[in-house]
Amino acid sequence: MEPSSATVRTLTPTESELAGAGVPLLLADAQRAFSAGVTTLLLDLRRVSRLDARAADTLVRLARRAPGHVRLVLLSPAPSARFILQALRLKEIFEIHEDAAEVLRAAS
């Protein structure tokens, strides 16, 4: 987890952290960010080439654990992942942007 500022954190999960053995680590990292008081959690998906049902479930679990005031943002999802996010209506839970600078500009 790399802090972007005091209230923004970026997590850069691998496919394993979204849909495999690393899921508990990702959820624990997110929980630490929530406990630290972040208001925006960025999930940089550049290292994820595809989303499957397990990955979608992980995203939903993460969203359910997020306090209501936390802005959840997915960065740079692959085209196939965007299709899945839209089909599963996860775009209603997560904002989707190409890069963090775009998100930070919108926040200021």
Mind listing the pLDDT tens digit for each residue in 74-101? 999 999 999 999 999 999 999 999 988 8
104 located within any domain: no
82 located within any domain: yes
Residue 7: which CATH number? 3.30.750.24
105 located within any domain: no
CA dist 8 and 80 (Å) reads: 27
31 located within any domain: yes
Query: For residue 46, what are the contacts with CB-CB under 8 A and spacing of at least 6?
Result: 12, 75, 76
Q: Encoding tokens for residue 67? A: 């306090």
Q: How many domains does the chain have?
A: 1
Domain that holds residue 52: 2-99
pTM for the model stands at 0.88
